Amino acid sequence: MSFKAAIKLMAVVIFPPVLFGCAGAVVESARMTNDAVTRDNYLSAALEGDAEAQYLVGKSFCCAPSNDAESFYNNRKATDFLCRAARQKYPAAAFEVAKIHSGDTVEGVRLLRRTANFVRGDNLDNKVIAYYWYSQAAQHGYAEAADLLNQLEKQDTSQFSSPMTAPCTIDEVYGVKQ
């Protein structure tokens, strides 16, 4: 193999994954900064009961590779705030709760956490709970939830009398902290 061919091979095979990994870290760092600002700006209103603030703070905590993580992202804190908003019939929050309980805890380019979830195999998955919260989001006008419900296997959610009594947080659905 010639020197030029070896350089081309390195440029095509080796450099893109290395650069992609660096870009992923930069993007993740920027997202963490944005999430920290969101918490600073909305935490007080969220604690006072503002549904939109609860949704934003909940999204800023979502999601860690494991449920017991005491790191920057924390699934328990995420579901605590998201469930507060979902129980006030905030459809975007109900949709996020459903995504979490369906095992879809990492979105977009959160590559580092997506990889950690894959390696750990620690995804949450409760189809009945997810279906219930997707249906709540759809019932309150969240179009993406309505579209998704049509694709999912129907689940019997009749045991849940209302959003106020339906399991929602990590601890309510999966048990007490480990």
Which tens digits make up the pLDDT trace of 120-164? 344 445 889 999 999 999 999 999 999 989 888 899 999 999 999
Q: Regarding predicted confidence, which is higher, 172 or 72?
A: 172
Q: Give the residue numbers spanning the domain of 44.
A: 3-174
Q: Report the C-alpha gap between 71 and 87 in whole angstroms.
A: 26
Mean pLDDT within 102-124? 48
Mean pLDDT of the chain: 78
pLDDT value at 88 more than 70: yes
- Our count of domains for the chain comes to 1
Q: Report the C-alpha gap between 113 and 99 in whole angstroms.
A: 16
What crossing angle do the helices spanning 91-101 and 143-151 adopt, rounded to 10°? 30
Are 111 and 24 spatial neighbours (Cβ–Cβ below 8 Å)? yes
